Amino acid sequence: MPTALITGASRGLGAEIARQLAPTHDLLLGGRPSTDLDELATQLDGATTFSVELTDYDEVESAVETISELDVLVHNAGVGSSLETVADTPVEEWHQVLEVNLVAAAELTRLLLPALRAAQGHIVFINSGAGRRANPRWAPYAASKFALRALADALRAEEPTLRVTSVFPGRIDTDMQRDLVAIEGDDYDPSRFLKTSTVAAAVVHAVTTSADAHPEEIVLRPTGRG
């Protein structure tokens, strides 16, 4: 079976992507070492954990040395921001959000390009609606996602043997979403948000699209009818 590496796979959307890819792919489940990641690997027969801190670039480089061929790389790991105005956002937050959401994805991609080229593989970037429109108090997060879109676009032009897909979901029903809604001071209503299973299905659709087509972008918006 083809092999897929999914970052941020221990819970939420990453775990759901893993579950939906498991029937057709051998999985490398990326994430910090945790019982959640170990339990998911146990549930998904044949899955292997890829337990690294993505911003520890020496550790990442060592971890990918044994990967000689990779069919699918799904960049799902990411962090949110504190929803402050630009005037109130400290420089440390800019560094953290851009480091995790952009720089770490770029470096993991760079290190895995030989393996992806060998398989004529597919890279999927889980972006965000914030990667297409920047709203007040979302500047660091939106900036990281706009930049992630630029990374995907440049990579697509540079690597003609690879397929590169950006997925732009609206807000998703996850633990991180609950935290954001709490910061916003609203009551949490999961029906307002996309289901993880819906977004994961879009990723699987992109990955399994016939080789004669290149799914470059997928945009999903919640309807509120979930």
Asked if 127 and 145 touch (Cβ cutoff 8 Å), the reply is: yes
Q: Which two tokens stand for residue 38?
A: 């170990």
* E strands in the chain: 3-6, 26-31, 48-51, 72-75, 122-126, 163-169, 217-220
141 included as an active-site residue: yes
What's the DSSP call for residue 192? Answer: G
- Return the SS3 of 167: strand
3-class DSSP state of 132: coil
Rounded CA-CA distance 30/35 in Å is 13
* CA angle, 52 then 54 then 60, to 5°: 65
Q: How many CB atoms lie within 10 A of CB 5?
A: 26
Catalytic residue among 50, 125, 138, 141: 141
Residue 14 CB: number of other CB atoms within 10 A? Answer: 27
Q: Say which residues have a Cβ less than 8 Å from residue 131's Cβ, sequence separation at least 6.
A: 142, 145, 146, 148, 149, 166, 168
Specify which residues 164 forms β-bridges with. Answer: 123
List the catalytic residues.
141
